Chain A
Amino acid sequence: MLNVQRWQTLVIVGFTALAVLFALPNVLPNALLSHLPSWYQQSRVNLGLDLRGGAHFLLEADLRAVLNERLTNLSDSVRAELRKQQVGFKDVTVEAGRAVVVVLREEAQRAKALEAIRSIDSSLAVSGTGDTIRLAYSEQDLFRRKKEVIDQSIEILRRRVDETGTIEPTIVRQGDDRILLQVPGIKDTTDLKRKINQTAKLTFHLVNEDVALTGQNVPTNLPPTTTLVPTREGMQQLRATNLKAWEDIQAANPRLAPEQICRRYQPQCLPVLKRVIVGGEDLDDAKATFEQQQGGRPIISFTFNSAGGRAFCAATRANVGKRLAIQLDNEIISAPVVQSAICGGSGIITGSFTTQQTQEQALLLRSGALPATLTIIEERTVGADLGADAIRDGTVAAIVGTLLVALFMFVAYGPLFGGFANLAMLVNLLLVFAGMSVLGASLTLPGIAGLVLTVGMAVDSNVLIYERVREEKALGRSAFSSLATGYERAMSAIIDANLTTLIAGVLLFGFGSGPIRGFATTLSLGLVTSMFSSTIFTRMLLALWVRWRRPTELVI
C-alpha cells in the first residue's frame, strides 16, 4: 500500500507542477504576462462583481405586450385586406395574449376571407366555424418571435451599454423572457439604468443629393430643410481613430445634435432632408434573407404597416435613383439607393452585404420598431471601494484561517506529519486556484468563505488518516504497517465524508446564483482536489520519507 512506484511519483509531481503552472498567471505581473501566449494569459481567476465592483441587473421583457401589439397590427391588416377584397365583416377583435377573432357578415364569404387572410400571413393557425374565424400565431412562430425579441433586446442593450464606454459587459438570456446584464467596474448606474429604459428612434429620410459633400469638407451653407447626420461607419471610424472625440460625444450633456457632431468632429456624414418619411413605429418587421435570383445574395427585407406602406410608396415613387437614409437615433445605419417605387408595404435593401451584415442591419432596423419593455426585477450594485473592502476582509480571513489550521495541525501531529498535512493544504489551495483559472470561474466573497472552509475540511482527511495510524500503532503494529493500514482503513470514511459535503455543494451550485455559486464552486472544487492532495499527495510524501529514513518508531 505504501509502495509508490516511480511513475506514480512522476504523475503526482507532474500534476502538481501543472497546477502551479495554471495558477501562476494569477500572481505574475502583467508586464511579464504580456510576453506569454494568450491562452496562458487567460488562465486567471475572474473576480466576481461583489469583489471587483460593478452592476448586476436582471431584466424581464414584457413579451405579452409585444404579442398584443402584434395582434393589434394583425387585426388592422386583416380589416384593411378584407375591405379591399370586399368581404363584409361584423367585427375584428383582439383576444389579448391569444388571437384575432373575425366575425363575418355572411358565412358564404368564408373561403374568400380565408384567402385574403392567407395573403397577409400564410403561417397563421386558423380555427373557428361558421361566420367566426380565429387567427393565432403558431407555436413555432411564437417561439421564434420570443427569441427574436430577446435577441433584439440584448442587441439594443449591448449598443447602449457600449455607448457608456465601459468594458466587457455580460449580457445573456436567462430563461424564457429574462436578460442578465452585468457591467463590471461601472461607477454610476443612474445613467446605465436610464439607457436601459430608453428605446431607439428609427426614421427614414431622403438624402439631399443636391448638397455636395467631399471627404471631410463640411458645407457651411445648408438649405434649411437639410441637416447633417453621421453615418454608423463614420462613427465607428471616429471611435477607432480618435477615441477621445468619440468619448466626448457620448459624454456630452445635453446630447449633441447630429449636425453639431458632424461640424465639430467631422466623421463621415450625409446631408439628409429633415422631413421624416416613415418612422420606426410604422415598420412591422425586418429580417435578413436571401435574394431569389442572382445567386442568392444576402439582403434585408422589411414590411411596413398600412400607413407606413402608403407613405413609403409615395416617397419612393417620386425619388427613384436617390438615396434613402435610414437613421437610428443619431446615426445613419444604411443609405440604399431607391431602385424603383416600393409599394405594397414591403421592400428589400440590396447591396454588397455579407450574411452577418444583413443580420445586423435587420436587427438595427427592428430595434426601433419592436422593443419589449424591460423591467428591472433584480439589481445588485457594488461600488469599487466596497469591493476593495470585501477583498481585504476576505484575504485577511483566508490568511488567518489558513494559519490557524496550520498551527492546529502542527500542534496536534508534530512537525513532520503536521508539516505533510499543511503542505498538502497548500497544494490544495493551489489546485483550487488552478482549477478556477482553467474553468474561468469567478471568485466571489462567499467564494473566499468557501475557500476558508475548504482549508479546514481538506486537512480533515489527514486527521482521519493520522488518527487511524495512531490507533493501528496502539495495536502494536510496526511503523510501516500502521501507516499502510491507516491509509487503507481511513479511505472509506474520507470518501463518505467528502462526498456528503460535495452533494450539498453541487446542489447549492444548481440552485444558487451569483455570489452563492462562487461559494459552491470553491467548496466543491476544494473538496474534490483535497481528495488528491490529502490522500494521494501525502501518501507519496510519506512513502518517500519512509524509504529515506526507514523509521522504526512513528512520532505521531
Chain B
Amino acid sequence: MWKPVRLFTFKRKFDFLGPRRTALILSTLVNIIALAGVFTIGLNFGIDFKGGIAIQAKAKQGVANLEQLRSTIGALGVGEVSLQEFGDPSTALIRVQRQDGGAQCVAGAQRVMLKRAGPGWQVKPGPAGTGDVELTAPSALDAGNWRDAVSRVGLTVQERQLPRGTVNTARIDMSPEQRAEWCQQVAIKLVEDAIGGGYELRGTESVGPKIGEELMQSGILAVIATMAAIAIYVWFRFEWQFAVGALIAMLHDVISTLGVFVVLQLDFSLTALAAVLTIAGYSINDTVVIFDRVRENMRRYKKLSLVDLLNQSINETLSRTLMTSGTVFVAVVALVLFGGPVLYSFSVAMLWGVIVGTYSSIWVACAGLVYLNLRPEQLRPDDDKAEKAKA
C-alpha cells in the first residue's frame, strides 16, 4: 500500500496578502483589458445570440474544401458566410449570418422554387413596407397543388389567398419580421441545394432574429440573477463585507472569462453562457471555504490584525483550496481533450474558470476584505458571548 501524498509537509506561512496591491493592479488591469476587448473586438457570438444559421457538412469523399465551399455559398446571396473545420478535416462548420428578409432573399426563394417546384414559378416581393410575397405559378393550378408547391419554399398559403379559376398569382401576407424569419429557411434551402451533392448535412441549426434577441436578454438576466442570488446567500451566511468581496471576485472571474472568449475568439453560444454561470457558481466555492475559516478564526484570534488573520486563514485552507480546484481541474482537462468540438468552448472556459476562481478567492475576495475594512471588533457582541458559552 502506498502513502498519501501531501502538498505541503511543512507549516505554511506564506504572506499572500503582502503583494495585495500588485494583485489589485494586476486584476484591475486584466479586467479593464477584458472589458475593453468585449466592447471593441467583441465576443464571437454564436448563432444562439446573434441569430443565423450553422450547418455541419461532412464531405462525402475526402476532405472538406473550405475555399470552394466559401465561394459557392458566398455566391448565393445569403450575406456573410464563415467557415471552419469542425472536429476533423472532412467536416466543415458553415455559418451564415442572420437573414434580414431583403430583396436578395426573395430572389433566393425564386431559385429554390425553380429547383424544388419546377420551372415557370416566379417569386416577387410585394409592396414596399410589407413583407408580402407574390407567387406566380407556371399555369393555373388546383388548390392542392398550390399548397404543395408553396410549401416547398417554406410558405403557407391560406385558403382565402388561393387564386381561383384561371388566375395563377397568389399574394402571401407577411410582416417584414415574419419575412425575415422565413428567409432563414430560404437560406437553409439554398445552402442545401448548393452543396447537397458533395456533402452530407449532418446537423442544421437556425435561430431567427426574434429568438436570438430573446436568448441574449435572458442570458444577461441569468448572469445578473445568478451573481445577485449568490451574493445574497453569502450576505445571509456571513457579514456584508464577505458578500461584497465574493461579488467582486465573481465579477472578476466572469469578466476575465469573457476576456478569454475575446482573446481566443471562442464561439460564445448557449453552452458558453452555461460555462460563465457555472464559473460564477464555482469560483465562489473556494472563496466560501476560506471565508468560512476567516469567520472561525475571527472568533478565535481576537487580537490578530486583519491582514495576519486573513493570511493565516488562507494558509490553513491552502491545501484544501488547491486540492478541490485540482479535482475539478483534472475533470475539466478530460472534457477539453475528449469532449469533442461541440463542448470545446465550454471546456476551455471552464478550465480558465477553475484557475482564475482559485486566484480570485485569495487575491480578490480576501484582499477585498482588507480594503472593505472588515475587522474582528466589528463582530456583534453576541458572537463573543456565544463563543464564551461554548468554551
B2 within 8 Å of A (CB atoms) = yes
Q: Which of A281, A389, A555 contacts B160 (CB 8 A)?
A: A281
In whole angstroms, how far apart are the Cα atoms of A459 and B328 in the complex?
A: 9
Closest CB-CB distance, A193 to chain B, in whole Å? 6
Contact B289 A497 (CB under 8 A): yes
Q: Which of B185, B230, B292, B339 contacts A492 (CB 8 A)?
A: B292
Residues of chain B with a CB closer than 8 A to A413's CB = 4
Of the 9-residue stretches A122-130, A317-325, A368-376, which lies at the interface with chain B? A368-376
Q: What is the 8 Å Cβ interface bit string for chain A, positions 362-398, against chain B (1 contact, 0 not)? A: 0000001101011111111111011001101110111
Of the 9-residue stretches A86-94, A231-239, A460-468, which lies at the interface with chain B? A460-468
In whole angstroms, how far apart are the Cα atoms of A407 and B93 in the complex?
A: 36
Q: Which of A396, A409, A415 contacts B327 (CB 8 A)?
A: A409
Closest to B154 in A: A197
Of the 9-residue stretches B19-27, B317-325, B368-376, which lies at the interface with chain A? B317-325
Contact A280 B159 (CB under 8 A): yes
- With A373-B156, A381-B204, A520-B274 known as contacts, the answer to whether A500 contacts B233 (CB < 8 A) is yes
A142 within 8 Å of B (CB atoms) = no
Contact A460 B324 (CB under 8 A): yes
A67 within 8 Å of B (CB atoms) = no
Contact B335 A377 (CB under 8 A): no
In whole angstroms, how far apart are the Cα atoms of A540 and B155 in the complex?
A: 64
Closest CB-CB distance, B253 to chain A, in whole Å? 12
Residues of chain B with a CB closer than 8 A to A502's CB = 281
Contact B156 A371 (CB under 8 A): yes
Contact B324 A556 (CB under 8 A): no
Which residues of B in the span 291-327 have a Cβ within 8 Å of any Cβ on A? 291-293, 316-317, 319-320, 323-324, 326-327
Q: Which of B3, B144, B155, B184 contacts A414 (CB 8 A)?
A: B3
- With A279-B159, A508-B222, A511-B221 known as contacts, the answer to whether A393 contacts B1 (CB < 8 A) is no
- With A393-B338, A456-B328 known as contacts, the answer to whether A378 contacts B207 (CB < 8 A) is yes
Q: What is the 8 Å Cβ interface bit string for chain B, positions 253-296, against chain A (1 contact, 0 not)? A: 00000000000000000110110011011101100110111000
A435 within 8 Å of B (CB atoms) = no
Which residues of A in the span 265-304 have a Cβ within 8 Å of any Cβ on B? 279-281
A11 within 8 Å of B (CB atoms) = no
A47 within 8 Å of B (CB atoms) = no
Closest CB-CB distance, A433 to chain B, in whole Å? 17
Residues of chain B with a CB closer than 8 A to A398's CB = 334
Closest to A200 in B: B147
Closest CB-CB distance, B342 to chain A, in whole Å? 6
Q: Interface majority SS on A: helix, strand, loop or mixed?
A: helix
Which residues of B in the span 88-123 have a Cβ within 8 Å of any Cβ on A? none
Instruction: Identify which of B87, B274, B326, B330 gathers the most chain A CB atoms within 10 Å of its CB.
Output: B274
- With A393-B338, A393-B340, A507-B277 known as contacts, the answer to whether A378 contacts B208 (CB < 8 A) is yes
Residues of chain A with a CB closer than 8 A to B3's CB = 414, 555
Contact A452 B331 (CB under 8 A): yes
B29 within 8 Å of A (CB atoms) = no
Closest to B1 in A: A415
Contact B274 A463 (CB under 8 A): no
Residues of chain B with a CB closer than 8 A to A281's CB = 159-160
Residues of chain B with a CB closer than 8 A to A408's CB = 326-327, 330
Which residues of A in the span 430-478 have a Cβ within 8 Å of any Cβ on B? 445-446, 449, 452-453, 455-457, 459-460, 463-464, 467-468, 470-471
- With A381-B204, A400-B338, A449-B347 known as contacts, the answer to whether A496 contacts B292 (CB < 8 A) is yes
Residues of chain A with a CB closer than 8 A to B188's CB = 379
B151 within 8 Å of A (CB atoms) = yes
Which residues of B in the span 331-349 have a Cβ within 8 Å of any Cβ on A? 331-335, 337-340, 342-343, 346-347
Closest CB-CB distance, B313 to chain A, in whole Å? 12
Closest CB-CB distance, B317 to chain A, in whole Å? 8
In whole angstroms, how far apart are the Cα atoms of A255 and B144 in the complex?
A: 11
Contact A382 B271 (CB under 8 A): no
Contact B229 A503 (CB under 8 A): yes
- With A417-B4, A452-B331 known as contacts, the answer to whether A515 contacts B270 (CB < 8 A) is yes
A residues contacting the other copy or chain, number (CB 8 A): 98
Q: What is the 8 Å Cβ interface bit string for chain B, positions 206-236, against chain A (1 contact, 0 not)? A: 1110110000001101100110011001100
B167 within 8 Å of A (CB atoms) = no
Contact A394 B210 (CB under 8 A): no
Residues of chain A with a CB closer than 8 A to B157's CB = 199
A62 within 8 Å of B (CB atoms) = yes
Contact B330 A201 (CB under 8 A): no
In whole angstroms, how far apart are the Cα atoms of A376 and B273 in the complex?
A: 24
Contact B233 A386 (CB under 8 A): no
Contact A194 B151 (CB under 8 A): yes
B143 within 8 Å of A (CB atoms) = yes
Closest CB-CB distance, A23 to chain B, in whole Å? 21
Contact A396 B338 (CB under 8 A): yes
Contact B143 A201 (CB under 8 A): yes
Contact B327 A459 (CB under 8 A): yes
B173 within 8 Å of A (CB atoms) = yes
A14 within 8 Å of B (CB atoms) = no
Which residues of A in the span 205-258 have a Cβ within 8 Å of any Cβ on B? 255
Closest to A56 in B: B205
Residues of chain A with a CB closer than 8 A to B278's CB = 453, 501, 504-505, 508, 523
Contact B282 A377 (CB under 8 A): no
Residues of chain A with a CB closer than 8 A to B124's CB = none
What are 27 residue pairs bridging A and B, where the CB atoms are less than 8 Å apart in the complex? Answer: A198-B147, A201-B143, A371-B156, A376-B154, A376-B208, A377-B181, A377-B208, A380-B205, A383-B201, A394-B343, A396-B338, A397-B335, A405-B327, A453-B332, A456-B331, A457-B285, A459-B327, A492-B292, A500-B234, A500-B281, A500-B284, A500-B285, A501-B284, A503-B226, A504-B277, A511-B218, A516-B270
Q: Identify the 6 closest CB pairs spanning chains A and B, nearest first.
A: A504-B281, A393-B340, A456-B331, A401-B334, A456-B328, A281-B159
Which chain B residues have a beta carbon within 8 Å of chain A's beta carbons?
1-5, 56, 87, 143-144, 147-148, 150-152, 154-160, 173, 178, 181-182, 184-185, 188, 192, 200-208, 210-211, 218-219, 221-222, 225-226, 229-230, 233-234, 237, 270-271, 273-274, 277-278, 280-282, 284-285, 288-289, 291-293, 316-317, 319-320, 323-324, 326-335, 337-340, 342-343, 346-347, 350
If A383-B202, A500-B234 are given as contacts, then 20 extra A-B residue pairs at C-beta distance below 8 Å, sorted by A number, are A58-B211, A62-B178, A197-B150, A201-B144, A376-B154, A401-B334, A409-B327, A414-B4, A453-B335, A468-B320, A493-B293, A501-B282, A503-B230, A504-B280, A504-B281, A507-B225, A507-B277, A511-B218, A519-B271, A555-B4
Which chain A residues have a beta carbon within 8 Å of chain B's beta carbons?
50, 58, 60, 62, 65, 69, 189-190, 193-195, 197-199, 201, 255, 279-281, 368-369, 371, 373-383, 385-386, 389-390, 392-394, 396-398, 400-402, 404-405, 408-409, 411-415, 417-418, 445-446, 449, 452-453, 455-457, 459-460, 463-464, 467-468, 470-471, 492-493, 496-497, 499-505, 507-508, 510-516, 519-520, 523, 555-556
